[in-house]
């Protein structure tokens, strides 16, 4: 059984915790035939790192500088859970040092950077993966199976949205996510890329788009130690920082297969704690999904008799191998953390077998092309082509 030695970068953050847990957990559910992972290094520049990370992965080195992990001969896989603006430089250094790379989304700040990363990985024969885990819920494998079997015919329209309300309150504190230097594309690279990953997985490539990006609250109070999306009680002497990347976007797009897309996403949808939906309309049927029923697909087909037509609700269950690995009964719900466990297992298996699994940096490049096109379209106020 092959063991992959992993360094998790940004280990004290949300994703750092989830990824570390995922490596340790996946063998319990998904077995070890695809290899195992050992977290050998946790990288974090937070001052409490040594105290907080000591128990997370037995025997792991606690490092402050990501360069030390990249140059460490005992590390096979660099797992990047750092703020967006660092992804490109860290991934590039890791690939050049001969490491496999698993990078949180967005893969890079621009499509040109993503192209460079995908090219280096291809040239060096390294495994890559972008952290678009939502799509790894088995319910979306079912959607893809239905589409590929032709059960909804030719796809003509894709509608999707993803909204949160962490910045709905104008007093929600400033954080790196609102800083155009640390997160250059804001919500487009953040929530937008999740929607784009569904588009790429279920419909295909995008050839052109038009995007209206917007900022709702232009300045936010800087309140250290506040939770994501918390409201601040102003004392009157706090600093304020400018929000320098988009809070939301409304996008129209065209796909290579002729389908049209209508997508909206934001971080300002007050009351929407987490809303993620898609609807896919074809010439013979349609599919619809919402995160509120995260393991449920709604399927309509013209093959049903007239008078009996309507959406049927399909709860993915243990007949799906991946779902069955976690739960013996349907509708017990596989949630967010399970998709990360599935993703980590796939990353490890792709390294031990040498067979990459979507979304690699190649797919990450196309998703970055969509992000670039959204930013350019909003800047120039016109449709933008993607080659």
Instruction: Looking at residues 54 to 83 of the shown chain, list those that interact with ligand NAD (rule: CB under 6 A).
Output: 66, 81-83
Q: Which helix (H) or strand (E) holds 139?
A: helix 138-148
Q: Is 140 in the site for ligand NAD (CB under 6 A)?
A: no
Shortest Å, Cβ 344 to ligand NAD: 12
Residue closer to ligand NAD (CB basis): 208 or 337: 337
Among residues 252, 254, 157, 264, the alpha carbon closest in space to that of 206 is found at 254
φ, ψ at 50 (rounded to 5°): -60, -45
> Are 167 and 272 contacting, i.e. CB atoms less than 8 angstroms apart?
no
> Are 209 and 251 contacting, i.e. CB atoms less than 8 angstroms apart?
yes
Q: Is 338 in the site for ligand NAD (CB under 6 A)?
A: no
Among residues 376, 348, 371, 26, the alpha carbon closest in space to that of 183 is found at 371
Piece in contact with ligand NAD (CB under 6 A), picked from 9-17, 239-247, 256-264, 356-364: 9-17
Shortest Å, Cβ 381 to ligand NAD: 27
Q: Is 113 in the site for ligand NAD (CB under 6 A)?
A: no
Residue closer to ligand NAD (CB basis): 10 or 356: 10
Instruction: Looking at residues 144 to 203 of the shown chain, list those that interact with ligand NAD (rule: CB under 6 A).
Output: 190
> Are 78 and 102 contacting, i.e. CB atoms less than 8 angstroms apart?
yes
Q: Is 104 in the site for ligand NAD (CB under 6 A)?
A: yes
* Residue nearest ligand NAD (C-beta atom): 13
Q: Is 138 in the site for ligand NAD (CB under 6 A)?
A: no
By CB atoms closer than 10 A (0-12, 13-18, 19+), residue 367 is buried
> Are 275 and 166 contacting, i.e. CB atoms less than 8 angstroms apart?
no
Q: Is 84 in the site for ligand NAD (CB under 6 A)?
A: yes
Shortest Å, Cβ 9 to ligand NAD: 6
φ, ψ at 185 (rounded to 5°): -110, 5
Residue closer to ligand NAD (CB basis): 104 or 346: 104
Among 5, 13, 67, 291, binds ligand NAD (CB under 6 A): 13
Q: Is 43 in the site for ligand NAD (CB under 6 A)?
A: yes
Q: Is 364 in the site for ligand NAD (CB under 6 A)?
A: no
Q: Is 15 in the site for ligand NAD (CB under 6 A)?
A: yes
Q: Is 131 in the site for ligand NAD (CB under 6 A)?
A: yes
What is the C-alpha to C-alpha distance for residues 235 and 369, in angstroms, rounded to an integer? Answer: 43
Shortest Å, Cβ 347 to ligand NAD: 13
Residue closer to ligand NAD (CB basis): 14 or 240: 14
Among residues 138, 149, 135, the alpha carbon closest in space to that of 321 is found at 138
What is the C-alpha to C-alpha distance for residues 280 and 288, in angstroms, rounded to an integer? Answer: 6
Q: Where do we find the tokens 């013979």?
A: 284
The contacts of residue 313 (CB under 8 Å, 6+ apart) are: 293, 296, 297, 298
Q: Is 10 in the site for ligand NAD (CB under 6 A)?
A: yes
Shortest Å, Cβ 313 to ligand NAD: 25
Q: Is 229 in the site for ligand NAD (CB under 6 A)?
A: no
Sign of CA dihedral 74, 78, 83, 87: positive
Shortest Å, Cβ 337 to ligand NAD: 10
- Write the Ramachandran bin of 289: left for phi over 0, alpha for psi from -120 to 50, otherwise beta: beta
Among residues 287, 308, 283, the alpha carbon closest in space to that of 298 is found at 287
Cis peptide bond upstream of 63, omega within 30: no
Q: Is 133 in the site for ligand NAD (CB under 6 A)?
A: yes
Residue closer to ligand NAD (CB basis): 91 or 142: 91
Which residue ranges make up the site for ligand NAD (CB under 6 A)?
10, 12-16, 43-46, 66, 81-84, 86, 104-105, 131, 133, 190
């Amino acid at each position: 059984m092959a063991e992959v030695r992993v360094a998790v970068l940004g280990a004290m953050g949300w994703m750092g915790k989830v990824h570390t847990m995922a490596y340790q957990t996946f063998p319990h559910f998904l077995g070890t035939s695809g290899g195992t992972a050992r977290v050998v290094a946790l990288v974090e520049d937070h001052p409490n790192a040594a105290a907080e990370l000591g128990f997370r992965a037995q025997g792991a080195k606690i490092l402050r500088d990501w360069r030390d992990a990249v140059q460490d001969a005992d590390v096979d896989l660099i797992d990047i859970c750092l703020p967006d603006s660092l992804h490109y430089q860290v991934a590039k250094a890791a690939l050049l040092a001969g490491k496999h790379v698993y990078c949180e989304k967005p893969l890079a700040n621009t499509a040109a950077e993503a192209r460079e990363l995908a090219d280096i990985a291809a040239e060096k024969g390294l495994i890559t993966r972008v952290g678009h885990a939502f799509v790894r819920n088995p319910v979306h494998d079912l959607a893809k199976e239905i589409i590929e079997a032709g059960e909804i015919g030719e796809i003509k329209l894709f509608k999707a949205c993803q909204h949160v309300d962490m910045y709905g309150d104008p007093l929600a504190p400033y954080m790196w996510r609102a800083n155009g230097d640390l997160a250059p594309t804001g919500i487009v690279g953040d929530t937008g890329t999740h929607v784009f990953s569904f588009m790429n997985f279920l419909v295909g490539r995008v050839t052109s788009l038009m995007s209206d990006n917007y900022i709702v609250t232009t300045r936010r109070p800087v309140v250290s130690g506040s939770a994501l999306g918390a409201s601040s009680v102003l004392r009157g002497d706090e600093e304020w920082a400018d929000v320098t990347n988009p809070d939301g976007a409304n996008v129209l797009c065209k796909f290579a297969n002729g389908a049209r897309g209508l997508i909206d996403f934001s971080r300002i949808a007050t009351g929407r704690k987490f809303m993620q939906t898609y609807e896919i309309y074809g010439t013979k049927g349609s599919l619809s999904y919402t995160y509120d029923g995260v393991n449920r697909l709604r399927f309509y087909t013209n093959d049903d008799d007239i008078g009996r037509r309507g959406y049927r609700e399909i709860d993915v269950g243990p007949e799906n191998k991946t779902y069955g690995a976690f739960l013996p009964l349907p509708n017990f719900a596989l949630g967010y953390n399970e998709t990360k466990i599935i993703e980590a297992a796939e990353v490890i298996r792709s390294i031990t077998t040498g067979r990459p699994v979507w979304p690699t940096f190649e797919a990450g490049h196309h998703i970055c092309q969509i992000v670039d096109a959204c930013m350019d379209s909003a800047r120039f106020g016109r449709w933008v082509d993607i080659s």
